[in-house]
Amino acid sequence: MNTSSPSFSSSAADRRLSALVRHLEGSSLNVLDSRSRSIAASPTSGSHGAGNSVFDHVVRAPEDPILGVTVAYNKDPSPVKLNLGVGAYRTEEGKPLVLNVVRRAEQMLVNDRSRVKEYLPIVGLSDFNKLSAKLILGADSPAIQENRVTTVQCLSGTGSLRVGAEFLARHYHQHTIYIPQPTWGNHPKVFGLAGLSVKTYRYYDPATRGLNFQGLLEDLGSAPSGAIVLLHACAHNPTGVDPTPHQWEQIRQLMRSKALLPFFDSAYQGFASGNLDTDAQSVRMFAKDGGECLVAQSYAKNMGLYGERVGALSIVCRTADVASRVESQLKLVIRPMYSNPPIHGASIVATILKDRSLFQEWTIELKAMADRIISMRQQLFDALRSRGTPGDWSHIIKQIGMFTFTGLNSKQVVFMTKEYHIYMTSDGRISMAGLSSRTVPHLADAIHAAVTRVA
Ligand code: PLA
């Protein structure tokens, strides 16, 4: 650009803007349309006026409904404050936990002077990908043995979902995805922004605080043939309600009979039951029948690698040839987004997964985390019972995984935050992993007060 002749560059810019406005006038993007017109009508706007930002029109966005809870918590000076918003494991002392096995793997990586910091391939670390597919599909998976699975390393669970969604938007004939009602708050945004049309299927029944299985079957039964269906592999977020193995089998039969495409979100493998294989049963059921499916895996929770952003997307295909063509297209999705994934976290995971003794140590630590969460459920349930808190709180011990979907309404949540400095999402979800024996009584007092004083 020739900066010494502003009149030239501004008229070139005007020409580009007019072309853009002409282009937009023919489109349905009305918001953009009127904004472009007003910019074009005042050629000086946004140029040199002191104090005038070219971003003046930008409105402040609300905080994220989950991660924003931590922002509010961090601002609260109270010594008794408690963050039960984001699903992040804490110890009995309320501290974040780095697994011992992760520390050991990291030490091994640091000591290995042959390791370099070169770029990974677009699809990530090859060992990591193979081992991740095995972890979720099972070591004896026919799909893996027949080379029908392509796995790409992505930026944790979220990135894996997004890459899968972008791939589907480009290469799959059906652009409608059905997600459970309710679901993790980021799902509709991830899929919507990738260009898929998002619809919901009934999942949770507030009356029974359990699965609305009939509603689920009806909604999937009336979905158009070929539609994509998002399924939580285990430990459904936010409800903590999972189908039984028998119900999973019925879901599988219905979906296969209608050629619905399963997209599993596996963000909590090992966190539900404490056992990695048990928590992968739903996915394995679908992968075993020879049909196709997608799986997004996250190591944030089960290896405590939250900030390392380690995850994988696997696509199980009909044939090895299809899988390799799919992988070639996944590379075209990934390259313009972030080029290739980071090396450190995936190296930790690969180190642990390929060493028998490290793997064994991991399963023990994972089970300890799952058990601590289960014991928090019992302690909270007992604490409410001993206070005589009105209502049936048995769902606290029945629900599975990191969260309890308490049934508290948004007014009660606001009350608990204001009066007790307890932070949680407005839908009444609490992260059981953020609780400890020390903080259970405080939470029970808060719930008791909320239920008896706020309608
Ligand atoms: N899928 C589900 C169902 C999740 O609950 C989460 C994380 C993810 C995917 C993404 O995890 P990752 O990208 O970190 O691997 N849900 C958290 C955190 C734990 C969050 O909202 O980002 C939650 O508090 O709901």
- The identity of residue 134, as a single letter, is K
Per-residue pLDDT at 41: 45
- pLDDT bracket for residue 31 (50, 70, 90): very low
Query: Which residue among 153, 184, 241, 269 has the greatest number of ligand 1 atoms within 8 angstroms of its CB, and so is best to mutate?
Result: 184
Tally Cβ neighbours within 10 Å of residue 226.
14
Tell me which of 219, 279, 301, 427 is the catalytic residue: 301
> What's the chain's length in residues?
455
Question: Is 301 in the active site?
Answer: yes
Half-sphere exposure of 55 (CA within 13 A, CB side): 3
Helix (H) or strand (E) holding 402: none
Q: What is the pLDDT of residues 317-336, one digit of tens each?
A: 999 999 999 999 999 999 99
- CA-CA distances (angstroms) from residue 431 to 47, 359, 404? 49, 26, 7
Tell me which of 184, 242, 279, 362 is the catalytic residue: 184
Mean pLDDT of 149-165: 98
Per-residue pLDDT at 455: 83
Per-residue pLDDT at 51: 76
Query: Which residue among 154, 162, 186 has the greatest number of ligand 1 atoms within 8 angstroms of its CB, and so is best to mutate?
Result: 186
Per-residue pLDDT at 48: 52
Q: Which residue's C-alpha comes closest to atom 2 of ligand 1?
A: 267
Determine the 3-state secondary structure of 17 from DSSP: helix
Give the pair of three-digit tokens for residue 280.
């992968």
Q: Say which residue the tokens 């590379």 belong to.
A: 331
CA dist., res. 394 & res. 389, Å (int) = 12
Give the pair of three-digit tokens for residue 439.
């903080």
pLDDT at residue 101 tops 70: yes
Per-residue pLDDT at 153: 98
Q: What is the pLDDT of residues 335-365, one digit of tens each?
A: 999 999 999 999 999 999 999 999 999 999 9
Range of weakest confidence among 35-39, 256-260, 443-447: 35-39
Give the pair of three-digit tokens for residue 223.
């979905």
Q: Can you list the alpha helix ranges (DSSP code H) found in 222-355?
A: 245-257, 281-288, 320-338, 344-354
What is the average pLDDT value for the chain, to the nearest integer?
A: 91
pLDDT at residue 16 tops 80: no
- Predicted structure pTM score: 0.89
Helix (H) or strand (E) holding 430: strand 429-431
pLDDT at residue 160 tops 60: yes
Q: What is the pLDDT of residues 36-95, one digit of tens each?
A: 444 444 444 444 556 799 999 999 999 999 999 999 999 999 999 999 999 999 999 999
- Secondary structure of 241-267 as H, E, C letters: CCCCHHHHHHHHHHHHHCCCEEEEEEC
DSSP category for residue 425:
-
Q: What is the pLDDT of residues 265-320, one digit of tens each?
A: 999 999 999 999 999 999 999 999 999 999 999 999 999 999 999 999 999 999 99
Give the pair of three-digit tokens for residue 260.
């619905």
Ligand 1 binding site (Cβ under 6 Å of any ligand atom) = 66, 86-87, 156-158, 184, 186, 232, 237, 265, 267, 298, 300, 311
- Confirm if 89 and 311 have CB atoms less than 8 A apart: no
Q: What is the pLDDT of residues 383-400, one digit of tens each?
A: 999 999 999 999 999 999
Mean pLDDT of 25-41: 41
pLDDT at residue 411 tops 80: yes
CA dist., res. 180 & res. 247, Å (int) = 15
Q: How wide is the angle at C-alpha 94 spanned by C-alphas 90 and 100, nearest 5°?
A: 50
